[in-house]
Amino acid sequence: TQAPVNVTVTGAAGQIGYALLFRIASGQLLGADTPVKLRLLEIPQAVKAAEGTAMELEDGAFPLLAGIDIFDDPKQAFAGANVALLVGARPRTKGMERGDLLEANGGIFKPQGEAINAGAAEDIKVLVVGNPANTNSLIARSNAPDVPIERFTAMTRLDHNRATAQLAKKLGVSVSDVKKMTIWGNHSATQYPDIFHAEVAGKNAAEAVNDQKWLEEDFIPTVAKRGAAIIEARGASSAASAASAAIDHVYTWVNGTAEGDWTSMAVPSDGSYGVPEGLISSFPVTCRGGKWEIVQGLEIDEFSRGKIDASVAELSEEREAVRKLGLV
Ligand code: NAX
């Protein structure tokens, strides 16, 4: 059998961590033939809670789980990591300005980037889930100069999955009939879920819907504000669906997209579609052989252009703000 893959998970004692770790242990992150060793990172106050989760993982008797180690030091947690899921972040609290939020997260993602640079495995793949995910990923990447930039990504797969489910519901089809959904831009309320290139049972999705009012007044806001709606209903932010999307993101990155389909990932821009180089922005991507590639040559109409530009402008502002703080 294969040697175990080292998977580092930060924020392991949090609510996404609780849902995520069991799915990793069961083999859903990398596949049913790949044993995993978990390396959990938490802040010192939450190490005990992470130990509790580790006890439950042990009690799951997962055949693919080859070991669990718990750390409060990023250098140790990322040593030898093949996959890193950066979930722990500083949430926005009442009265906190965006600059404060970015600075607090800089205090987390800068040292984590440095630790990845210092000790992760050659083939390290990083997914940032903790918000503001795109810019946190940018901070980590900027502090890991020896790691190829394409190894740093951020999660918009939850938005992608939400958009796919909403479109399937509208058209009364199965989610598996929906292909080529795209989320553009930032994982925030400015994100743009694009159905103009999506296909439903082989037909263009926008034509199948044929309802611009639904698109603008229902679909886009429902997808973009779904996180807030979950908080309103559940009294807590989305956790199991976020964990599921993180599993999907890494599984697709490692195992590839299906022929005739793509997914959405926030990845470092190479300037495609007018997105400034280096911003970690969501694009349609295909994956093959453990590498992602931005889908090229899509026609972007005026409506979509405006939406993409607005979300990308927000990412540029966030980059400017963290530049001023000396974080990138
Ligand atoms: P929780 O507050 O339940 O858990 C976060 C955990 O991170 C805590 O246990 C905390 O001790 C730990 N932590 C904080 N700083 C750390 C550090 N420096 N090193 C290691 N661990 C640290 O939050 P949860 O609901 O699990 O959400 C985690 C993050 O995911 C949040 O930033 C949240 O905003 C973000 N989300 C991102 C989504 C996306 O689509 N990209 C969707 C879901 C989610 O809202």
Q: What is the DSSP string of 85-103?
A: EE-------TT--HHHHHH
328 pLDDT more than 90: yes
- Residues having CB within 6 Å of any atom of ligand 1: 10-11, 13-17, 41-43, 46, 87-89, 91, 108, 129-131, 133, 155, 158, 187, 227, 237-239, 242
Residue nearest to atom 30 of ligand 1 (CA): 130
pLDDT band at 97 (very low <50, low <70, confident <90, very high): confident
Distance 239 CA to ligand 1 centre (A): 9
pTM summary value: 0.98
Percent of the chain scoring above 70 in pLDDT: 100
pLDDT at 98: 82
Distance 16 CA to ligand 1 centre (A): 7
Residues in the chain: 328
Pocket probe for ligand 1: among 87, 190, 238, the residue whose CB has the most ligand atoms within 8 Å is 87
Distance 130 CA to ligand 1 centre (A): 5
Residue nearest to atom 36 of ligand 1 (CA): 130
pLDDT at 1: 67
CA of 108, closest atom in ligand 1: 18
Distance 281 CA to ligand 1 centre (A): 20
319 pLDDT more than 70: yes
Q: Which residues lie below 8 Å from residue 318, measured CB to CB, with a gap of 6+?
A: 98, 102, 132, 134, 135, 138, 186
pLDDT at 259: 96
CA of 157, closest atom in ligand 1: 40
pLDDT at 94: 83
Distance 50 CA to ligand 1 centre (A): 13
150 vs 225: CA distance, rounded Å? 29
Strand (E) or helix (H) holding 154: strand 152-154
pLDDT single digits (tens) 179-234:
999 999 999 999 999 999 999 999 999 999 999 999 999 999 999 999 999 999 99
249 is annotated as an active-site residue? no
pLDDT band at 29 (very low <50, low <70, confident <90, very high): very high
pLDDT band at 176 (very low <50, low <70, confident <90, very high): very high
Mean pLDDT of 107-117: 98
Distance 212 CA to ligand 1 centre (A): 36
Percent of the chain scoring above 90 in pLDDT: 96
| The pairing of beta strand 182-184 with beta strand 192-194 | antiparallel
Amino acid (1-letter code) at residue 278: G
Which two three-digit tokens encode residue 266? Answer: 């926030």
User: Which CA distances in Å does 315 have to 79, 115, 278, 294, 319?
Assistant: 30, 25, 11, 18, 6
pLDDT single digits (tens) 115-168:
999 999 999 999 999 999 999 999 999 999 999 999 999 999 999 999 999 999
User: Which CA distances in Å does 148 have to 54, 130, 151, 184, 310?
Assistant: 32, 21, 6, 23, 28
Average pLDDT, the chain: 97
44 pLDDT more than 80: yes
CA of 155, closest atom in ligand 1: 41
Pocket probe for ligand 1: among 21, 40, 42, 71, the residue whose CB has the most ligand atoms within 8 Å is 42
pLDDT single digits (tens) 50-94:
999 999 999 999 999 999 999 999 999 999 999 999 999 998 888
12 pLDDT more than 80: yes
Question: Do 155 and 266 touch, CB atoms closer than 8 A?
Answer: yes
pLDDT single digits (tens) 235-271:
999 999 999 999 999 999 999 999 999 999 999 999 9
Question: How many other CB atoms sit within 10 Å of the CB of residue 233?
Answer: 8
pLDDT band at 323 (very low <50, low <70, confident <90, very high): very high
Pocket probe for ligand 1: among 131, 137, 139, the residue whose CB has the most ligand atoms within 8 Å is 131
